[in-house]
């Protein structure tokens, strides 16, 4: 094939070398507009996984890179005059300029044609005269812009400013310097890349950047390649103690807002995107160079394996897209963590260090325990004592999920809760034996708190005919049978969630058609405004009057009293997911012009009125929570900023903890689903306001629960589907972690099953095969020490 490569960065060069190596008959030409030794940035970092792929694909390139690497294991977090170190991470870095030289030399030796300081011919011309065109022309890709209608790019410009610098101070590990300055919090990301230099990236929130006066320096038309020397000088002043007299090196160093690049498609005919042209991921979790070289390897492999270019390009995108999306999700979590760094500055240095290590959700509690058990032991000990000082427990050191939690007069044995999940198995609002088995079984399974589904305060407030209620004394009596079982047979506590369906009512059971209107037996629905959930499908609700509001308030109060008499330990008000009270809060569903519509304070007025009336009717020693939708996932709806104000308003009304969910307010939502995807909202509320929070949403492993709690992102974790899969989830999590303390007690009849049963002959006793026993592997704490 004739192959054109637009862009002579590491991705393009590596593709050319691998493709030429696999088939010397290819005619490959690379065009690069910059000089051969031009590079923007200083060092690049590789993971062991990526290096393994490079070694397998091209031993010559790997051998050359291997000779250049700076290698180390430690991450140092410099925060509040303390240095907290975590080891066992394994890094390899090298000079970006040297990497380019190695790849250029390899390309020339294989017969690839390289053109530097040369613009590539027009991409249409290249596509017509070559079988394949590789567009690896960077984050500002002209090729991507040319075929934007096909590629469907989205460019998400973020809120932090950062600048790439270098220094001749050679760090001996990866460094996070987090510094409180008169202008706000700033951070340095630093790492060595060879025996003579280190990458030195300074980053800060846009507001901090402006307060520091950098906006004045940056308000200038810089020449190509020119650096912002005034800003660099100010950086040197601010971080003089870190630099310790060492020089700072510049290379086209100016302030940048990171842009996350995504594309709906990566190919246009025989033109394919690679590297930053196709996707970007924030530098705090790795290197764009690493991703680009992985792209190159996958693309060459697909071209080699598939029968034609079309099939190969489709296979390349199918293979790489899931990997890239996973990386981008982790990068998004990391960059948002740094954007919101100011909300963590009250954390103790030990917790802060754990928080920064686990910010992307890729590195977790268990992962760190494997890498550096001493570090995790230190954090566990700190957390136990910290929670004891706050009135939670006695300071016993154990996995964080097994620390107790006190809310008013209620003490939960552990931090695991069964999330409210509608079962749709009630009969005329009455809970049935199914609910006893469902909730009782989860209580026996070890969770500290078991929550009912949304229990409706009136017959008309049901979502479906199968929803439970507590609008009658008989229903309350049936609920008492369940609470008595939970209290008698387990150490769990049981909470009730009260709500009203609003405009989402009078619909079919979930498995018959979620949100679909009933074929018969419909009942009228109500809402703040006459807006159907799905126009033309669901009913148009009747707009509530002042008299209706009085009636609804009384229904919630009556249900509260019945719940107290039924023996529930905690009461939660459902103000999320587009149900009645949620519909008051969201501007998408509340178009009222009276005192209950308009600005957020007005939209909160009725939900707060109901909550206050319930709090007055609920026993003072028992806690109350509120479930909110922290975002509507739609432009013009509730935002993360709003969620903080909403949480503060409910806390002022007497909420002891906020259950932070999101969405389900409108079918137009576009949620960013992923592991623990709603936890950042709970994290923000907790750390900005000090209000206790529950995290919920695709939390399924005890590793995630421990990570969330230990980092201070929530006080309690709600798990739904995980408990449907395994009703004994908490007990099994204890067994897996070797915990047999008071926070996870097996029911007496079940104690013979408290250990995992043998699953095969691999668990049989092993003979001794060592003359001298080897001790446990020590944590790798290798530091970078250049030879000579």
Which amino acids are annotated catalytic?
579
Largest CA distance in the chain: 86
**Quick one: how far is CA 357 from the chain centroid?**
13
**From CA 43, how far away is CA 56, in angstroms rounded?**
23
Q: How many CA atoms lie within 13 A of 67 on its CB side?
A: 7
Q: First and final CA of the chain: distance in angstroms?
A: 48
**Quick one: how far is CA 280 from the chain centroid?**
17
**From CA 755, how far away is CA 770, in angstroms rounded?**
28
**From CA 139, how far away is CA 261, in angstroms rounded?**
7
**From CA 671, how far away is CA 666, in angstroms rounded?**
11
**From CA 450, how far away is CA 29, in angstroms rounded?**
64
Asked if residue 694 lies in contact with residue 716, where contact means CB atoms within 8 angstroms, the answer is yes
- Token pair of 660, please? 């932070």
**From CA 672, how far away is CA 332, in angstroms rounded?**
11
Three-state helix/strand/coil letters over 155-212: EEEEEEEEEEEEECCCCCCEEEEEEEECCEEEEEEEEECCCCCEEEEEEEEHHHHHHC
Query: Could you say which DSSP state residue 747 is in?
Result: P
Integer angstrom CA distances of residue 226 from 9, 234, 256 = 20, 17, 14
Q: For residue 706, what are the contacts with CB-CB under 8 A and spacing of at least 6? A: 364, 365, 366, 399, 400, 401
**From CA 709, how far away is CA 355, in angstroms rounded?**
10
Determine how many CB atoms are found less than 10 A away from the CB of residue 240: 10
Q: For residue 547, what are the contacts with CB-CB under 8 A and spacing of at least 6? A: none
Determine how many CB atoms are found less than 10 A away from the CB of residue 433: 11
**From CA 618, how far away is CA 680, in angstroms rounded?**
30
**From CA 717, how far away is CA 679, in angstroms rounded?**
9
Which of 572, 576, 570 has its CA nearest to residue 629? Answer: 576
- Token pair of 107, please? 């390309």
Phi, psi of 178 (to 5 degrees): -110, 120
**From CA 421, how far away is CA 696, in angstroms rounded?**
12
Integer angstrom CA distances of residue 680 from 8, 259, 545, 708, 709 = 38, 20, 37, 10, 12
- Token pair of 189, please? 């990301």
Determine how many CB atoms are found less than 10 A away from the CB of residue 782: 16
**Quick one: how far is CA 386 from the chain centroid?**
25
Within 459-545, where are the H helices?
A: 473-489, 510-513
Within 592-692, where are the H helices?
A: 600-603, 605-617, 640-652, 679-689
Which region, left, alpha or beta, applies to residue 60 given φ > 0 means left and ψ of -120 to 50 means alpha? alpha
Q: For residue 311, what are the contacts with CB-CB under 8 A and spacing of at least 6? A: none
Which of 43, 358, 352 has its CA nearest to residue 191? Answer: 43
Asked if residue 168 lies in contact with residue 42, where contact means CB atoms within 8 angstroms, the answer is no
**From CA 99, how far away is CA 67, in angstroms rounded?**
11
């Amino acid at each position: 094939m004739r192959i054109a490569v637009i862009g002579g960065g590491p991705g393009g060069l590596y593709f050319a070398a691998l493709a030429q190596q696999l088939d010397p008959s290819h005619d490959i030409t690379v065009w690069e507009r910059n000089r051969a030794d031009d590079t923007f940035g200083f060092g690049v970092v590789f993971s062991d996984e990526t290096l393994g792929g490079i070694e397998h694909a091209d031993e010559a390139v790997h051998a050359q890179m291997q000779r250049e690497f700076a290698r180390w294991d430690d991450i140092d977090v410099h925060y509040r005059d303390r240095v907290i170190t975590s080891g066992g991470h394994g890094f390899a870095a090298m000079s970006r300029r040297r990497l380019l030289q190695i790849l250029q030399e390899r390309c020339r030796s294989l017969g690839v044609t390289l053109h530097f300081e040369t613009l590539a011919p027009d991409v249409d011309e290249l596509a017509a005269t070559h079988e394949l065109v590789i567009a690896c022309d960077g984050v500002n890709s002209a090729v991507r812009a040319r075929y934007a209608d096909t590629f469907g790019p989205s460019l998400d410009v973020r809120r932090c400013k950062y600048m790439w610098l270098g220094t001749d101070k050679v760090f001996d590990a990866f460094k996070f310097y987090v510094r409180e300055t008169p202008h706000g919090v700033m951070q340095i990301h630093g790492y060595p890349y060879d025996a003579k230099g280190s990458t030195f990236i300074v980053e800060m929130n846009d507001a901090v950047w402006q307060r520091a006066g950098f906006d004045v320096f940056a308000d200038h038309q810089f020449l190509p390649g020119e650096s912002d020397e005034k800003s660099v000088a100010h950086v040197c002043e601010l971080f003089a103690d870190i630099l310790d007299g060492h020089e700072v090196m510049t290379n086209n160093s100016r302030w940048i807002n990171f842009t996350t690049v995504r594309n709906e498609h990566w190919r246009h005919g025989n033109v394919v995107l690679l590297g930053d042209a196709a996707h970007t991921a924030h530098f705090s979790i790795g290197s764009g160079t690493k991703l680009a070289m992985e792209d190159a390897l996958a693309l060459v492999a697909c071209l080699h394996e598939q029968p034609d270019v079309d099939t190969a390009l489709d296979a390349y995108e199918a293979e790489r897209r899931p990997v890239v999306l996973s990386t981008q999700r982790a990068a998004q979590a990391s960059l948002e963590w740094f954007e919101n760094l100011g909300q963590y500055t009250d954390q103790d240095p030990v917790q802060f260090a754990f928080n920064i290590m686990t910010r992307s959700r890729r590195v977790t509690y268990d992962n760190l325990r494997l890498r550096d058990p001493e570090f995790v032991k230190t954090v566990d000990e700190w957390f136990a004592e910290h929670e004891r000082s706050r009135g939670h427990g006695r300071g016993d050191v154990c996995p964080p999920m097994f620390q107790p939690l006190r809310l008013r007069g209620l003490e939960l044995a552990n931090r695991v809760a069964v999330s409210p999940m509608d079962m749709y198995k009630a009969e005329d609002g009455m809970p049935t034996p199914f609910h006893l088995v469902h909730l009782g079984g989860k209580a026996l399974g070890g969770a500290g708190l078991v929550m009912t589904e949304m229990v409706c305060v009136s017959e008309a407030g049901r979502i479906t005919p199968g929803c439970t209620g507590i609008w009658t004394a008989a229903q309350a009596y049936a609920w008492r049978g369940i609470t008595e079982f939970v209290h008698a047979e387990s150490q769990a506590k049981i909470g009730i969630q009260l709500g009203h369906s609003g405009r989402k009512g009078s619909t079919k059971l979930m498995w018959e058609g979620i949100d679909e209107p009933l074929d018969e037996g419909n009942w009228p629905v109500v809402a703040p405004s006459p807006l159907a959930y799905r126009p033309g499908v669901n009913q148009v609700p009747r707009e509530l009057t002042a008299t209706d509001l009085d009636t609804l308030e009384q229904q919630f109060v009556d249900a509260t009293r019945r719940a107290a008499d039924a023996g529930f330990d905690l009461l939660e008000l459902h103000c999320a997911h587009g149900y009645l009270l949620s519909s008051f809060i969201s501007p998408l569903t509340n178009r009222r012009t009276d005192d209950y519509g308009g600005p957020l304070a007005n939209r909160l007025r009725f939900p707060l009125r109901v909550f206050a009336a319930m709090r007055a009717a609920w026993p003072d020693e028992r806690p109350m929570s509120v479930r909110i939708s922290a975002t509507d996932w739609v432009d013009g709806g509730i935002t993360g900023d709003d969620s903080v104000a909403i949480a503060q308003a409910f806390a002022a009304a007497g909420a002891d903890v906020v259950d932070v969910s999101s969405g389900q307010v409108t079918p137009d939502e576009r949620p960013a689903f992923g592991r623990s995807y709603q936890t950042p909202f709970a994290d923000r509320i907790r750390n900005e306001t000090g209000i206790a929070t529950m995290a919920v949403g695709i939390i399924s492993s005890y590793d995630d629960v421990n990570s969330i709690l230990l980092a201070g992102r929530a006080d309690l974790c709600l798990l739904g589907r995980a408990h449907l899969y395994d009703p004994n989830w908490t007990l099994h999590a204890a067994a897996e972690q070797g915990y047999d303390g008071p926070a996870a007690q097996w029911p007496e009849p079940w104690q013979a099953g408290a250990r995992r049963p043998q699953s095969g002959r691999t668990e049989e006793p092993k003979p001794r095969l060592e003359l001298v026993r080897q001790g446990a592997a020590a944590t790798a704490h290798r530091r970078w020490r250049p030879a000579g």
